Amino acid sequence: MAPARDSQRIIGIDPGLNITGYGLIHVEAIAISLQEAGVIRLPRSAQASLPERLDALFEELRRLLKEFRPEQMCLEDVYSHRFYPQTAILMSHARGVICLAARQAGIPVISLSAKRIKQSVTGNGNASKLQVQRAVRHFFSLERTPHPPDVADALAAALCFANAQRMAARGWPAGRRLLVESPRIAI
């Protein structure tokens, strides 16, 4: 993992074929601030084929990357549940398109497991979506809980990477948490 710079923009992405969450944070030596967060909604009509939806995701993501010019992208790994293997296959399509958009924009992609992200922001690798939403709300002192959960998941991915970089820059061993920088929220 590259050492943390004095200032950088990190975009977190929570991939999906209906809704893809994104969150852009600005990391400075002593502060992390929220710059932009939202969702990319893809066409859900019966007429929208998978290639059309992937094209819409690719084009919207390219527009976001061009507008915000992040220096890093954090992308949640695809999770596969044994009862729903088709979902993982479909999510892989979205993830591939996201990686391609980042590659074309010259942005390195960092893959993070959902457990690692949850552990970083809540202190519990098995945290619920609501716990992640509350942790993100608390960290950024937001008036409301980020909704839909995809937004909070994307911001949590960016925060996880930012915290890992800061710890590496301080010479702390991997896996150690900074409670000040990734607050634990009791639910």
| pLDDT on residue 135 | 95
Can you give the residue range of the structural domain that contains 151? 7-169
Residue 32 forms part of a structural domain: yes
Residue 174 forms part of a structural domain: no
Q: What is the domain count for the chain?
A: 1
How does pLDDT run across 118-171, given as a tens digit for each residue? 999 999 999 999 999 999 999 999 999 999 999 999 999 999 999 888 777 766
Residue 141 forms part of a structural domain: yes
Residue 178 forms part of a structural domain: no
Q: Give the CATH number for residue 13.
A: 3.30.420.10
Residue 182 forms part of a structural domain: no
Residue 101 forms part of a structural domain: yes
pTM: 0.85
Residue 184 forms part of a structural domain: no
Share of the chain above pLDDT 90, in %: 66
Residue 175 forms part of a structural domain: no
Report the catalytic residues.
Answer: 14, 76, 150
| pLDDT on residue 85 | 78
| pLDDT on residue 185 | 33
List the chain residues with pLDDT less than 50.
3, 175-187
| pLDDT on residue 171 | 66
Between CA 155 and CA 11 the distance in angstroms is: 8
